[in-house]
């Protein structure tokens, strides 16, 4: 039986279409995979604890579009403008290095915005504030597929990925560091996850 209740367990495709359970440390280093279930046409879903893991896993999916949630992967909820600007520059610089990526989109339901337009050079960069995830999907209509949504909330980011037909990589740092609001959202997301993605079984 596959466990979903702990960050150190995650699901990954093994490159041959089989979904495997992977056990890794909280620091995101080692990985031990075991066959769990075959995926068929089901969208990819994975839980990852570090930005390094997220970007590595995203690269394995060979996406043309990456949609990043902003808080907390790019910037902490309570960070200031400079933290947001720096986080966006940092994540964008790394996302651009993934081969084949054409669009990098940052989407937050908050009102936060960067202090200056983001320069993507060889990739198209889109920043969406008050994005209305998961209800508003029109923003993403012209983005090339395949795409990946990366975020911490199943109820918003995961649901958006499901609606777009994108893979979903759930970024989950230490749950103890979550503020009360996102923590409640995380519990809500756990409730709706079976509706969005297949339950992992033997």
CA distance readout (Å), 5 to 8, 81, 147, 186: 9, 34, 26, 12
Residues between 106 and 165 with contacts to Mg ion, criterion CB under 5 A: 152
Between 62 and 81, CB nearer to Mg ion: 81
Peptide bond into 198 cis (omega under 30): no
Between 46 and 71, CB nearer to Mg ion: 71
Q: Where does this chain touch Mg ion (CB under 5 A) — which range of 38-46, 47-55, 71-79, 131-139?
A: 71-79
Closest CA to 139 of 105, 88, 168, 114: 105
Between 42 and 190, CB nearer to Mg ion: 190
Say how many residues touch Mg ion, by CB under 5 A. Answer: 3
Between 20 and 84, CB nearer to Mg ion: 84
DSSP string, 62-91: --SEEEEE-TTTTS-TT--HHHHHHHHHHH
Given a contact cutoff of 8 angstroms between Cβ atoms, the answer to whether 157 and 150 are in contact is yes
- Nearest distance, CB of residue 152 and Mg ion, angstroms: 4
- Nearest distance, CB of residue 129 and Mg ion, angstroms: 13
What is the C-alpha to C-alpha distance for residues 73 and 152, in angstroms, rounded to an integer? 8
Instruction: Confirm or reject binding of residue 69 to Mg ion (CB under 5 A).
Output: yes
- Nearest distance, CB of residue 131 and Mg ion, angstroms: 11
Choose which of 43, 71, 150, 159 interacts with Mg ion (CB under 5 A).
71
- Eight-class DSSP state of 156: I
Residues that bind Mg ion (CB under 5 A): 69, 71, 152
């Amino acid at each position: 039986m596959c466990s979903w209740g702990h960050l150190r367990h995650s699901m990954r495709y093994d490159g041959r279409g089989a979904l495997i359970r992977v056990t890794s440390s909280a620091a995101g280093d080692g990985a031990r995979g075991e066959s769990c279930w075959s995926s068929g046409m089901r969208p990819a879903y994975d839980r990852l604890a570090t930005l390094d893991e997220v970007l590595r896993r995203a690269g394995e999916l060979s996406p043309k579009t990456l949609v990043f949630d902003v808080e907390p992967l790019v910037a902490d909820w309570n960070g200031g403008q400079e933290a947001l600007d720096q986080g966006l520059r940092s994540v964008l610089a790394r996302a651009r290095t993934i081969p084949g990526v054409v669009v990098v989109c940052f989407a937050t339901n908050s009102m936060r915005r960067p202090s200056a337009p983001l320069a993507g050079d060889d990739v198209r960069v889109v920043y969406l504030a008050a994005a209305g995830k998961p209800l508003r999907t029109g923003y993403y209509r012209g983005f090339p597929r395949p795409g990946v949504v990366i975020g911490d909330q199943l109820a918003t980011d995961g649901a958006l990925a499901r609606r777009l037909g994108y893979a979903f990589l759930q970024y989950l740092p230490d749950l103890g560091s979550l503020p009360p609001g996102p923590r409640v959202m995380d519990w809500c997301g756990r409730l709706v996850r079976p509706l969005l993605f297949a339950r992992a079984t033997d």
